[in-house]
Amino acid sequence: MKVLVINCGSSSLKYQLIDMTDESVLCKGLCERIGIEGSKITHKANGGEWSQEVPFPTHTEAFMKVVEMMTTGEGAVVKDKSEISAIGHRVVQGAEFFTKSEIVTDAIIDKIEEIAPLAPVHNMAHVQGLRSAKAVFGEKVPNVVVFDTTFHQTMPAKAYMYGVPYEMYEKYSIRRYGAHGTSHRYVSMAAAEYLNSSDLKMVTCHLGNGSSISAVKAGKCMDTSMGLTPLAGVLMGTRCGDLDPSVVTYMEQKLGIHGQEMADYLNKKCGLLGVSGVSSDMRDVTNAADAGNERAKLATEMLAYQIKKYIGSYAAAMGGLDCVVFTGGIGENDYRMRASVCANMGFLGISVDPEKNCKRTGDIMDISGKGSRVKVLVICTNEELMIARDTKALVEAAK
């Protein structure tokens, strides 16, 4: 079985084609600037890479180009799109309506669209991707949706409820949902397998342009840092993370902006970008800090401090800690951020070996310091494989 894994953004389409016989990636790529002038595709396959500027008015044209790149020329990996058995889609928000991955129906697409206000930056893009995939591949090819939120459905009510009138939950489903669930699920499973134990108390840190921290006990999520939407939690590339709600109302008064305009401000102009004034990319911010930019230095210190606080609070919530996992673009590659987060954490049994921490040695790295009671691991996340596995299982079960 060959599964095409899709992750749609409002103006982008990431894809991987995975052969599930051995879980190998046949090709992968990215369509950028969909609906914007200068759109292009980058396709990687057979050891090569090809880029083309192609007009993509909508996601449908992007899907058509993906099929062309996979089936023709030097980057071809299949003879025809009929070789693709199923399509797996990442969807950020499933709310309480979706507690597991699902085979797509029109009703499911409509529901994903209905709950889009809970993930305004993401869900409408996923809807566009689902409809475009059906248009290009037809009704015979099954589509599967895998939700970021389903892994977090095991949280107890005391963790996911907010201190607002209960009727807000009953009428409007206002609660903590979390995100990055496929990543937290993948790395927590990988850590349990690596440490040969299914009964671990661990904190998984998915750190990238969007970041979230989860408390995972015996393979189940007990708490997570993102909230009703992916805006909550630690400082991110352009997202503010946790705020006193009065900060928002005060800024609305001062800036004269409200509603969606304020939501866009909090999602797109804050975080590392807003604090540093340099960039939303951690690499740029770190370089600026090294060059003496005090605001950039402050941004990096804020992020490390906030992650440290989450690890400590989740250890308290779980009644102990056996393992800390770093993953995501920053978590996997920024050794200085890992060192800063774990510094002065000896009271919790956490220490990092400086030499191991600085070297990239594989998809799973044990960077624990000598005598560290808590294992500190760096695990390369593979959300696409998680989505492909769910897709395969559902399609085979439906036969």
Q: What is the largest CA-CA distance in the chain?
A: 61
Residue type, 135: A
Mean pLDDT to the nearest integer, 194-221: 96
Of 329, 342, 332, the closest CA to residue 379 belongs to 332
Residue 73: name the closest of 49, 104, 99 by CA. 49
Residues 6+ positions from 292 with CB-CB distance below 8 Å? none
Q: What is the mean pLDDT of residues 57-64?
A: 92
28-44: average pLDDT: 92
| Rounded CA separation 330/100 (Å) | 28
Please determine, for residue 107, whether its predicted confidence score (pLDDT) is greater than 90: yes
Confidence at 12, pLDDT banded by 50, 70, 90 = confident
Is-contact 338 326, C-beta < 8 A? yes
pLDDT at 9: 80
Question: Is 148 an annotated catalytic residue?
Answer: yes
How many CA atoms, within 13 angstroms, populate the side-chain half-sphere of residue 17? 24
Report the distance separating Cα 281 and Cα 207, nearest Å. 12
What's the rounded Cα separation, in Å, for the pair 336 and 346? 17
Question: What's the confidence (pLDDT) of residue 125?
Answer: 86
Q: Give all strands of the β-sheet with 364-366 in edge-to-edge order.
A: 220-224, 212-217, 201-206, 323-327, 375-379, 364-366
Binning pLDDT at 50, 70 and 90, where does residue 90 land? Answer: very high
Structure confidence at residue 118 as a pLDDT band (50, 70, 90): confident
pLDDT digits (tens, 9 = 90+) for 125-148: 899 889 999 999 998 999 999 999
How do residues 294-347 score in pLDDT, each as one tens digit? 999 999 999 999 999 999 999 999 999 999 999 999 999 999 999 999 999 999
* Percentage of residues in the chain having pLDDT higher than 90: 88
pLDDT at position 266: 96
Q: Strands 212-217 and 220-224, how do they pair?
A: antiparallel
Residue 112 pLDDT level (bands cut at 50, 70, 90): very high
Return the pLDDT at 394.
96
The 3 state secondary structure assigned to the chain is CEEEEEEEECCEEEEEEEECCCCEEEEEEEEECCCCCCCEEEEEECCEEEEEECCCCCHHHHHHHHHHHHHCCCCCCCCCHHHCCEEEEEECCCCCCCCCCEECCHHHHHHHHHCHHHCCCCHHHHHHHHHHHHHHHCCCCCEEEEECCHHHHHCCHHHHCCCCCHHHHHHHCCCCCCCCHHHHHHHHHHHHHHCCCCCCEEEEEECCCCCEEEEEECCEEEEECCCCCCCCCCCCCCCCCCCCHHHHHHHHHHHCCCHHHHHHHHHHCCHHHHHHCCCCCHHHHHHHHHCCCHHHHHHHHHHHHHHHHHHHHHHHHHCCCCEEEEEHHHHHHCHHHHHHHHCCCHHHCCCECHHHHHCCCCCEEECECCCCCCEEEEECCCHHHHHHHHHHHHHHHHC
- Contact, 383 vs 28, CB < 8 A? no
Residue 252, pLDDT above cutoff 90: yes
Predicted pLDDT of residue 106: 93
From the centroid of its chain, how far is CA 326? 13
- What's the pLDDT at 361? 86
Q: What residues does 223 pair with on adjacent strands?
A: 215
Token pair of 137 as six digits: 């591949």
Region 58-75 average pLDDT:
93
> Which structure tokens are listed for 10?
């409002």
Read off the pLDDT band of 87 (50, 70, 90): very high
Distances (CA, A) of 368 to 33, 181, 195, 203, 330: 41, 25, 13, 14, 18
Burial of 262 (0-12, 13-18, 19+ CB in 10 A): middle
What does the pLDDT read at residue 183? 94
Q: Which of 106, 148, 284, 334 is catalytic?
A: 148
Contact yes or no for 16/28 (Cβ under 8 A): yes
